[in-house]
Amino acid sequence: MKNNCRPFGIIAILFSLAIFFSSCKKEAVSADRIQKGNTIIEMNVIYPNYVQIRYNNVINSPIDVTITVYQNGTKKDVSINIPAGYKSLQSWGNDNYINVWNYNAYYDSTGSSPLPLITGTVDSVRITAVSCPDKEYGFKILVGTNNWTFYHPKDLKTTLDFISNNDTISYSAYDFESGFLYYNKTTKLYFFGLFNNACYIGSPSPDYPLTEGMTLDMPVLVYNWNGRNYGIQPDGPLAITNGSTLQLKITNITNTHFDATFSGKVWSSRQADTLFISKGELKNALLPYVTQ
* Domain stop point among 108, 141, 174: 141
> Are residues 164 and 272 both part of a single domain?
yes
Q: Give the model's pLDDT for residue 70.
A: 93
Residue 28 resides in a domain? no
pTM beyond cutoff 0.85: no
| Residue finishing a domain among 88, 107, 141 | 141
pLDDT at site 220:
84
127 and 236 co-located in one domain:
no
d(C-alpha 50, C-alpha 47), whole Å: 5
The H-or-E segment that residue 1 falls in is none
Does 26 reside within a domain?
Answer: no
E-only strand ranges, 92-153: 97-103, 124-131, 137-141
DSSP secondary structure string for all residues of 208-230: -S--TT-EEE--EEEEEETTEEE
Torsion from C-alpha of 179, 184, 190, 195, nearest 10 degrees: -10
Q: What residues have CB less than 8 Å from 69, skipping those under 6 apart?
A: 51, 75, 76, 77, 78, 118, 122, 125
Has residue 108 been placed in a domain? yes
Neighbours of 40 (CB within 10 A): 14
**Residue 50 shares a structural domain with residue 119:** yes
Residues 163 and 272 in one domain: yes
Secondary structure element (H or E) that encloses residue 19, with its range: helix 2-32
Domain-embedded: residue 148: no
103 shares its domain with 162: no
- Strand-strand pairing, 39-46 and 137-141: parallel
> Do 287 and 184 share a domain, yes or no?
yes
For residue 219, is the peptide bond before it cis, meaning its omega torsion is within 30 degrees of 0?
no
What is the count of structural domains for the chain?
Answer: 2
**Single-letter residue type at 231:** G
Q: Are residues 191 and 114 in the same domain?
A: no
Cβ contact 219:200 at 8 Å: no
Task: Name beta bridge partners: 167.
Answer: 164
Q: Are residues 168 and 233 in the same domain?
A: yes
Q: How many CB atoms lie within 10 A of CB 99?
A: 21
Instruction: Tell which of 111, 141, 171 closes a domain.
Output: 141
The whole domain housing 53 covers 34-141
Sign of CA dihedral 5, 8, 14, 16: negative
Residues 285 and 164 in one domain: yes
Q: How many CB atoms lie within 10 A of CB 32?
A: 11
173 and 59, same structural domain? no
Would you say residue 151 lies in a domain? no
**Do residues 211 and 92 share a domain?**
no
Q: Which residues pair with 164 in a beta bridge?
A: 167, 277
Alpha helical stretches, state H, 107-214: none
Is 22 among the domain residues?
no
What was the pLDDT predicted at 58?
97
Confidence (pLDDT) at 223: 92
Q: What is the DSSP letter of 83?
A: P
Consecutive 10-residue runs of the chain (292 residues): their mean pLDDT?
41 38 37 90 91 96 94 88 93 94 62 61 93 97 92 94 96 91 93 92 91 92 89 57 84 97 84 86 95 88
- 255: in domain: yes
Q: What per-residue string of b and e applies to 105-140 under the rule 16 or more CB within 10 Å gives b? A: eeebbeeeeebeebeeebeebebbbbbbeeeebbbb
Residue 5, domain member (yes or no): no
User: How far is residue 187's CA from residue 184's CA, in Å, rounded to a whole number?
Assistant: 6
pLDDT reported for residue 49: 80
The pLDDT assigned to 241 comes to: 55
Whether residues 107 and 192 share a domain: the answer is no
